[in-house]
Chains A and B, each alone.
Chain A
Amino acid sequence: MIYLNIIVAGLLTGAVYGLMALGLSVIFGVIRIVNFAHGEMMVVAMYAAWLLNQGLGLDPLAALPLVTAGLLCLGYALQRGLINRYIARPDHEQFLLLLAVAIIITASLLMGFGPDARNVQLAYAYDSYEVGGLLLDKVRVLAAASAALGALALTAFFRFTRTGKAIRACADNQFGAQVVGLDVKRLYAITFGLGAACVGAAGCLLLLLVDVQPYIATDYTLLAFIIVILGGLGSVSGALLGGLLVGVSEALSGFLVEPSFKSAISFGLLILVLLVRPQGLMGRRA
């Protein structure tokens, strides 16, 4: 029973990880740029949610739409103003560009908020549901449900709206999309905005579960990489599956082996998947 409890807790956290990684996956799948500032963007969202909580007393769940919209605009502006110019450049130039963005974000947060860890106090922080002997933390259930909703909304957007279809067309064939008259640069900006919105929402949800501090950003960037590669870069279901997998493996290794070993197991999984199935569990071969 204790194992089941741990696995379920891991799955619920994993859903939030999945939403975060989904942002990275969408950005790579369409724009073919690896967002090395992904964790940094999420930490921005976490601080935004924390500020709204401290200033207006908003619950991070209530702040979520605001923060998500804010990150959407930020991501759009970043792609439009900066990254669009580097689309056709070699990998290492794109890497340096996003590295510089990541450094600037972390340094700005450090200047604004200092190095101390911040968290939100919630009245329901220690509530839990009991379902047939299974103990579920209320915050984890809420976070996972919201993450699932977010992923669903994004999938619906890509499937049913005109803009979503146009973005998928860009991802399939950038040149063809240009030929039929799609404004590829604008669509890229929207895509980067959507990817940022995913981390915006994930950041609010994660603030329910962990403390925020400027330097945690790199760890989350790496975590997002692990997840999307496990699942397959560019695949929506893959990112979610990868998130769940990493959530469970972290929870189990924290319990069975040693908490400090949990990321070693995630990296081990990543190495295994890259070698056996480099396109990821759910990915297609390019």
Chain B
Amino acid sequence: MRAEALAGLRRREGVALALLAVALLAAPVVVNGYILSVLVLALFAAYFGTAWNLLTGFAGQLSLGHALYVGLGAYASAALFVRVGLPPWLGMIVGMAIAAAAGSIIGALSFRFGVTGVYFALLTIAFNEFTRILFDHFGWVGATSGLFLPVANRTHDNLWTLRGSPVMFYYLLLALTSAALLICHRLLNRRIGYYWQAIREDQEAAQALGINVFRTKLWAMALSAAMTALGGGVMAFYDNNLYPDTVFATGRSIEIITAPIIGGLGTLFGPILGAFVLTGLGEIMSWVSGSFHIDGLKQWCYGAALLAIVALQPSGLWPWLRSLLALGGGRR
């Protein structure tokens, strides 16, 4: 009986996943340029959200400064490309290494000195803001006047130099997001994933069981930072211009974390669902409020929507949607 029910669930999940995959793969063929650009934004949010969710959702460390790693990845790959002529992907590997190192240092300092919870969150903001101001004065990468990549040739897609059309970036991001999702899924079913969840639920108990809490949390920091930096690198080549005040903005950190929280913190699909819901919501609202010509109406509706979600579905939209569609998967 039970096995049959389980098989039914698996089938439903498989069908849902296949439908989603077909829809996402076919989307660029069907939609116009504007909607495609919105979808690219949503995929960026989904990717960053998935990377952040690894640290905060699985390992339980609330980071409010993930724009730091976006910026490090973006600036490393873009500056090395513009100044040294290093191909984007090699620059991104450098950026990932730098971000992983930065994340490990921040983590090592905080965890060594027992900085946790709210204090840790505020420390991540401080490091992010501090780096932003440093980059404001960092002449080699253009400081406040910005760093620009040569204008993209949008007719020929070249995946190696990352010059090409939005469609190329769409599929690239779709692949990256799927890969990130897969990595999270694999890690969660391994020892380190269980360690992370144990630490999230009760750090002292995890320590008492003999888990090396310090090292396990550092892995989460480094991995999440490196994944975020990779997305930052792709973002640099999609946007073609970088300013410290927008790349490292605390507002970006907040954007990165709202999608996974709305979607369902600590779930696998939550960050992706949240990203699509929030990006869509933002676009609908700018479209609606654009016809009224009132400054601030869009942000107001956005805030109200956040409030409504946190009031009605505080544990996120994905757990609710999943039970609505009668899909399995436990807490994920």
Contacts and interface: CB of A to CB of B under 8 A. Distances in A.
Contact of A96 (B119, B127, B251, B306): B306
A99 interface: yes
A47 interface: no
A17 to B, nearest CB: 17
B125 A107 contact: no
A260 B129 CA distance: 12
Given A96-B310, A267-B133, A103 B302 contact: yes
A89 interface: yes
A278 B116 CA distance: 9
Contacts of B265: 92
A57 interface: no
Contacts of B182: none
Interface in B132-168: 133-134, 136-137
Interface string A87-109: 00101110111011111101111
Interface string A242-285: 00000000000000001011011001101100111010000000
Contacts of A76: none
Given A93-B310, A93-B314, A278-B113, A261 B133 contact: yes
Interface stretch (A136-144, A149-157, A178-186, A221-229): A221-229
Interface residues of A, number: 43
A103 B282 CA distance: 13
B296 A107 contact: yes
A229 B297 CA distance: 34
B82 interface: no
Contacts of A274: 110, 113, 115, 119, 122-123, 126
Contacts of B257: 92
A264 B134 CA distance: 8
Contacts of B119: 229, 233, 274, 278
B296 A108 contact: yes
B307 interface: yes
Contacts of B129: 222, 263-264, 267
Contacts of A114: 295
B329 interface: no
A86 B119 CA distance: 19
A92 B133 contact: no
Contact of B115 (A104, A260, A278): A278
A225 B122 contact: yes
A263 B245 CA distance: 13
Contacts of B137: 258, 260-261
Given A100-B306, A222-B125, A271 B130 contact: yes
Given A89-B314, A99-B306, A111-B294, A104 B133 contact: no
Nearest to A268: B130
Contact of B299 (A28, A106, A264): A106
Nearest to B116: A278
A220 to B, nearest CB: 13
B250 A222 contact: yes
Nearest to B56: A92
B300 A225 contact: no
B136 to A, nearest CB: 6
B14 interface: no
A100 B314 CA distance: 13
A233 B100 CA distance: 30
A110 B295 contact: yes
Contact of A275 (B113, B117, B306): B113
B105 to A, nearest CB: 11
A174 to B, nearest CB: 17
Nearest to B314: A93
Nearest to B298: A107
B179 interface: no
B305 to A, nearest CB: 8
B307 A111 contact: no
A218 interface: yes
B326 interface: no
A102 B254 CA distance: 12
Contacts of A229: 119, 122
A65 interface: no
Given A108-B296, A225-B125, A97 B310 contact: yes
A154 to B, nearest CB: 22
Interface of A: 28, 34, 89, 91-93, 95-97, 99-104, 106-111, 114-115, 214, 218, 222, 225-226, 229, 233, 258, 260-261, 263-264, 267-268, 270-271, 274-276, 278
8 contacts: A93-B310, A99-B306, A107-B302, A111-B295, A233-B118, A264-B129, A270-B126, A278-B114
3 nearest A-B residue pairs (beta carbon): A110-B296, A103-B303, A107-B300
